[in-house]
Structure 1
Amino acid sequence: MKLKKKKKKLTENYYRDKETDAYIIPIWLDSYDDVFDDWDPSPFKMRDIEDEFLDFLWDSVEDIPKRDEIIFEFFIPTSLKNAQKEQILVSALKHHFDYMEIRNEKKLQKERLEAMKYFALGIFFFIIAYMGPFKADTLAVRIMEDGLFVGGWVFMWETFSNLFIESREFNEERHIIRRFMKAKVRFVEKGAR
């Protein structure tokens, strides 16, 4: 039942390209500036991409099954159609997606490095606890040894969490970013469809 609802949502929100069978994400623009951040005073070709626009693209790409290709189809009023601005927009999107991929890769490397630090600390705590360098057999020493075991397990859990849970999220992000990068972009005059 859930699969049928998802397919219905896909066919309601997106249509398929007749030639490639890729899902088309329709993007209606009043001007080319709609894609860029309103608060960025830079010249047109160097402006940042609007966060809400990126959120829309992200949500749309998440809706579409991973195995399917996507096309970003921009609808622009006929009176504003400008091939040079279209090239600038495509270039800006490409640069932004490249930046997103680099940033994602840095975050993933940071997670892996943290995991290795936690692993080393966990092993260190276990070694100290197992070697039992404490000579006295008092309550305080036992508490300290047990604390070292617990600390070792906590660091091992953090290692597991970073390597297998949090890095999975970064891998999913990377997959979406790569879908952005592979997506075709085309411009259509409003009213042409």
Structure 2
Amino acid sequence: MNLSNPDPGLEYRRREEHLKMSEISIWLDGYDDIFSDFDPRPYSERVLSDDFLKEAQKVSDEKFPATHELNLLVPRAGRETKTEKIIRKRLKLYFRARLDLARKDLLRMRLKGLMLVGIAIVILTVATLVSLIEEKNLAAHMFLVLLEPAGWFTIWNGFDELFFAPAKKKPTLEFYRKMARCNIVFVSY
């Protein structure tokens, strides 16, 4: 009797449950369901369907934390190995390209945020120096009135670009990361 694991079937069921949680399955009527109806080019160049992408993202969001496999269920009668190889390559290229774009967009946002915070610090420093002028100068006072709100507005916009805007982009980035890493499998039904 094995005391370390009293139920050998338990380990198998846990592994099967993990596999179910790490795969995405999408039911297709044919290969054309993956691509836009308005694009007549071959599968290797076609634009992906918005419906397909939305469904993949919706199902992907339910499969937390990782997706290891994208199962595309296709009718047995319509399957072609050569076509599936082309589609698999197209999907991988698409998801990798989108992941790269999302990463660049995130980096651009953060750099913009840092730049805005830097500009705001300069503006607020100038405002502080203007406030130290002891003369009751109307021009200096008007300059201060303009600088202070501009500085605070700029610093808050910078913080927004640094912290809040990237957080809104995170689900999209995670979707493309999952899809770029997952194994794409065509399955008959």
Q: What TM bracket, shorter-length normalisation?
A: 0.7 to 0.9
Q: Deviations over 1:41-83 (max 9, x none)?
A: 21222111111111111111112222x4342211211211111
The residue type equivalent to 2:60 in the other structure is V
Match of 1:69 in 2: 67
Does 1:166 find its partner at 2:165?
yes
1:7 aligns with none
Give the secondary structure class of the aligned counterpart of 1:162. Answer: helix
- 1:130 has 2:128 as partner: yes
- Which residue is equivalent to 2:117? 119
Tell me the equivalent position of 2:83.
Answer: 85
Assess, with a 3 A threshold, how the Cα gap between structure 1 residues 140 and 75 changes in structure 2: closer, same or farther.
Answer: same
CA distance in 2, matches of 1:163, 1:90: 36
Secondary structure in structure 2 of the residue aligned to 1:44: coil
Counterparts of 1:180 and 1:131, CA distance in 2: 53
Alpha-carbon distance change, 17 to 32 in structure 1, aligned in 2, over 3 angstroms: farther
Match of 2:11 in 1: none
Larger Cα-atom Rg = 2
Partner of 1:5 in structure 2?
none
Instruction: Identify unmatched segments of 5+ residues in structure 1.
Output: 1-15
- Contact 2:26/2:72, CA 8 A, preserved across alignment: yes
Report what 2:7 is aligned to: none
SS at match of 1:45: coil
Aligned length, in residue pairs: 174
**Partner SS, residue 72 of structure 2:** strand
| Number of the residue aligned with 1:43 | 42
Letter in 2 for 1:82: E
- Tell me what 1:18 maps to: 16
- Is the alpha carbon distance of 1:107 and 1:152 closer, same or farther for their aligned partners in structure 2, counting shifts above 3 Å? same
What is the RMSD of the two structures over their aligned residues, measured on CA atoms?
A: 2.4
Q: How far did residue 167 of structure 1 move?
A: 1.6
Percent sequence identity over matched residues? 25
CA apart distance, 1:125: 1.0
Stretch moving more, 140-149 or 27-36: 140-149
Deviations 1:110-168 (A, max 9, x none): 21221122122202211221111877525664343133122111111111111111122
Partner of 2:94: 96
How far apart, in 2, do the equivalents of 1:118 and 1:22 lie?
A: 45
SS at match of 1:46: coil
